[in-house]
């Protein structure tokens, strides 16, 4: 086996390992979404429960504030996870430039021919909507208390 084949094999092994790490990072982001979606569900369930048990309770104020906090935390976490994944893909493309076939670049080119719109903000849609709902809910509570 020549030195060039050995280096190419080692480089491909590094590429495979890094591709697997990128897949794990993507799975981690999906898990993050599930966690925050569960917290949002708990807030909604808590609000329904409090509204039925004690509609004039002062604890109702905590829920929209908690919703705002969770939404902002969700946005920051998604931004971080997306940035990490983007960095991993950049490194994969760099590794590919040294391999005989550029897997990820070819896949990206094929995907782009489908004319599917990719936007960075689409992942932030759910936390943004929940943030708006929580803010509107808080404003409603403030207005109801003032009147």
Q: Is the pLDDT of residue 2 over 70?
A: no
Average model confidence (pLDDT) for the chain?
83
pLDDT at residue 39 greater than cutoff 90 = yes
Cβ-based neighbours of 57, under 8 Å, separated by 6 or more? 50
Structure confidence by residue, pLDDT tens digits, 120-143:
666 788 899 999 999 998 898 888
Residue 1 pLDDT grade (very low, low, confident, very high; cuts 50, 70, 90): very low
Contact 63, 47 (CB under 8 A): yes
- Considering all CA atoms of the chain, what is the largest pairwise distance in Å, rounded to the nearest integer? 83
Quick one: pLDDT at residue 144? 84
Is the Cβ–Cβ distance between 51 and 60 less than 8 Å? yes
At 118 the pLDDT is 59
Flag whether pLDDT at 83 surpasses 60.
yes
Secondary structure (H, E, C), the chain: CCHHHHHHHHHHHHHHHHHHHHHHHHHHHHHHHHHHHHHHHHHHHHHHHHHHHCCCCHHHHHHHHHHHHHHHHHHHHHHHHHHHHHHHHHHHHHHHCCCCCCHHHHHHHHHHHCCCCCCHHHHHHHHHHHHHHHHHHHHHHHHHHHC
Q: What is the pLDDT of residues 51-62, one digit of tens each?
A: 888 877 777 888
Q: What is the pLDDT of residue 132?
A: 93
- Is the confidence at residue 117, as pLDDT, over 70? no
Percent of all residues in the chain with a pLDDT value above 70, rounded to a whole number: 89
Q: Does pTM surpass 0.85? A: no
pLDDT of the residue at 136? 92
Report whether pLDDT(81) > 90.
no
């Amino acid at each position: 086996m020549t030195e060039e084949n050995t280096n190419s094999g080692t480089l491909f092994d590094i590429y495979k390992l890094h591709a697997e790490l990128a897949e794990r990072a993507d799975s981690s982001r999906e898990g993050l979404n599930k966690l925050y979606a569960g917290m949002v569900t708990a807030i909604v369930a808590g609000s329904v429960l409090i509204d039925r048990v004690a509609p004039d309770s002062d604890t109702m104020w905590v829920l929209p504030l908690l919703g705002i906090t969770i939404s902002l935390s969700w946005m920051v976490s998604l931004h971080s996870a997306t940035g990490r994944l983007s960095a991993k893909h950049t490194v994969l493309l760099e590794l590919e430039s040294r391999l005989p076939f550029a897997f990820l670049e070819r896949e990206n080119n094929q995907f782009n021919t489908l004319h599917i719109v990719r936007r960075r903000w689409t992942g932030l849609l759910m936390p943004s909507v929940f943030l708006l709902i929580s803010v509107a809910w808080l404003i409603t509570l403030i207005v109801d208390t003032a009147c």
